[in-house]
Amino acid sequence: MSKTQAGSRGKTSPQSPKVKATWVQTRTQYLVRCEPYGTYYARIKENGNPKRYSLHTDSEAAAKIKLADFLRKRQGTKGVKSGVKCPGIKDLWDEYELTWKPDLSEGTKEYYREIRDSFHRGKISTFTGKGLSVGERDELPEKWPEFFAKAINKLTERDCQLWYKQYCEEFSPSRSNAALGIINSIFIIAMKQHWRSDNPAADLKRRRQYNSEEDHRLNPDEIPTEEQLAKIVEYLELVNTDSANTCKLLLNTGCRIESTWHLRWKHVDEKINLVSIVKAKNGPYSFPLHPPLKAFLDNLKQGAIPDPESLISKVRSIKNSLRTAAQKAGFKGSCTHHTMRHVFATRALEDGVDFQTLASWLGHKDGGELVRKVYGHLRKDHVDAQSKKMKIRNV
């Protein structure tokens, strides 16, 4: 290449009558190069017609960066036909279900639909069996109307950031990550259907869960002492008997709060001493009707025979009551529904239940590995008591 040609590279207009421009598609989607000048362009469709916009550089690396900025600024313009109403995220749910693999388990499908329901009313609408019907979902007030009520081609990176931040504050890392995966999949569907040219949620980071065994380990300070637990239950009984009974149910079953929403008297079989949990994170499971649980249920029945179809717990959430009760009991940690599950597991281990058996009682499917990681070390007061059993020997 001559000095004259090199010096004019990228400066001569592609419209020059002297040289016919040739457009070369690069390996990057939407990025083309104009030859012989070497200038890079963004090539997109607007209202069905292809258009090119100069990125004002002959460096491919710089062009890729500029292309990303260009697409972000022009989000929602790719292939949207005039006069056609653009759908929202919830309107593309049916298309999203069509992307599911044929061998996807029914439990996983339910889990995804529960996340869909949580988009509408947050945590209160999760674990609803097969999910809410379309009509029921439409009647619910939106939890994040500024996000889900918008047309999908109008959503910005900032909208996605605000929604994800609030969602993470309400849900666990695992559920938040699953929700983010669903949102990303729906944006990809929107891009394939030409409703928009980019994915504004692509840069959102998945929440950190566990990177090492140390991360799984439960800090003894995260669960209240037996004395504090007694004060917590005592406070709940003064405020609301049903809340106290729900707390005791959690303490004696180790269930997640969502599972108690489906636990009915018919699921307690006293003839074979078995309790069946029909809705749970990892699928249905069962555990024995152990003495503490049987005593609690007998007391709850007060000598009467309950309706088999009635729910054992009459309260869906005691989150706020638990927090207040814990503060009054002098517990400094965060006291939630899941704290009661930790208490149940810790008590069981202190009473001599092995990891594998406890794992089955908690609905785990890993044979006790997670229980070992989380509860392998016991509460300090129990450890101290056990240490006193060591005998002094001559050697």
Of 29-33, 121-125, 284-288, highest mean pLDDT: 284-288
Segment among 60-64, 135-139, 192-196 with least mean pLDDT? 135-139
Count of all residues that appear for the chain in the document: 395
**Range 220-380: architecture per CATH:** Orthogonal Bundle (1.10)
pLDDT at 330: 93
pLDDT at 6 over 60: no
Segment among 90-94, 237-241, 309-313 with least mean pLDDT? 90-94
pLDDT at 119: 81
Strands 22-25 and 31-35: antiparallel
User: CA 395 → CA 386, 388, 390, 392, distances in Å?
Assistant: 21, 18, 13, 9
pLDDT at 354 over 80: yes
pLDDT at 254: 93
> Which single residue is written with the structure tokens 């699921």?
267
Residue ranges of domains in the chain: 3-73, 90-209, 220-380
Question: Count of CB atoms within 10 A of residue 275's CB?
Answer: 23
Contact partners, residue 119, CB within 8 Å, separation at least 6: 89, 90, 143, 144, 148, 179
At 212, is the pLDDT very low, low, confident or very high (cuts 50, 70, 90)?
Answer: very low
Phi/psi of residue 67, nearest 5 degrees:
-65, -45
pLDDT at 281: 81
DSSP code for 304: S
Q: Given CA atoms 135, 136, 139, 140 in this order, what sign does their dihedral have?
A: negative
Task: State the CATH class of domain 90-209.
Answer: mainly alpha
Q: What SS3 class is residue 43? A: strand
Distance of alpha carbon 241 from alpha carbon 225, whole angstroms: 22
The more confidently predicted of residues 140 and 303 is 303
Distance of alpha carbon 337 from alpha carbon 258, whole angstroms: 10
DSSP code for 63: H
Strand partners, 45: 50
Contact partners, residue 27, CB within 8 Å, separation at least 6: none
User: What strand order describes the sheet that includes 39-46?
Assistant: 22-25, 31-35, 39-46, 49-54
pLDDT at 121 over 70: no
Strand partners, 78: 46
Distance of alpha carbon 248 from alpha carbon 110, whole angstroms: 28
At 139, is the pLDDT very low, low, confident or very high (cuts 50, 70, 90)?
Answer: low
Q: What is the mean pLDDT of residues 362-383?
A: 75
Q: What SS3 class is residue 392? A: coil
Burial label for 361, CB within 10 Å (0-12, 13-18, 19+), is buried
Are 124 and 316 within 8 A, CB to CB?
yes
pLDDT at 250: 95
User: What strand order describes the sheet that includes 268-269?
Assistant: 268-269, 274-277, 285-288
Strands 49-54 and 285-288: unpaired
Are 264 and 309 within 8 A, CB to CB?
yes
158-179 per-position pLDDT tens digit = 999 999 998 888 887 888 899 9
Q: What is the mean pLDDT of residues 211-224?
A: 64
Distance of alpha carbon 22 from alpha carbon 38, whole angstroms: 10
Are 192 and 204 within 8 A, CB to CB?
no
Tokens of 372: 């070992």
Distance of alpha carbon 381 from alpha carbon 386, whole angstroms: 9
Angle between helices 319-328 and 337-350 (to 10 degrees): 60
25-69 per-position pLDDT tens digit = 988 888 999 988 899 999 887 777 888 899 999 998 888 888 887
pLDDT at 241 over 80: yes
306-330 per-position pLDDT tens digit = 899 999 999 888 988 998 999 999 9
DSSP H stretches of helix in the chain: 3-8, 60-73, 93-97, 106-121, 134-139, 145-148, 157-170, 173-192, 213-216, 226-239, 241-253, 257-260, 291-301, 319-328, 337-350, 355-362, 369-375, 380-387
Task: State the CATH class of domain 3-73.
Answer: alpha beta
Q: What is the mean pLDDT of residues 78-107?
A: 77
Q: What share of the chain is helix, strand, coil (3-state, %, to 5)?
A: 50, 10, 45
pLDDT at 146 over 70: yes
pLDDT at 110: 81
Strand partners, 25: 32
The more confidently predicted of residues 21 and 136 is 21
CA-wise closest residue to 170 among 202, 209, 125, 123: 123
Q: What percent of the chain has pLDDT over 90?
A: 31
Q: What is the mean pLDDT of residues 365-389?
A: 72
pLDDT at 9: 47
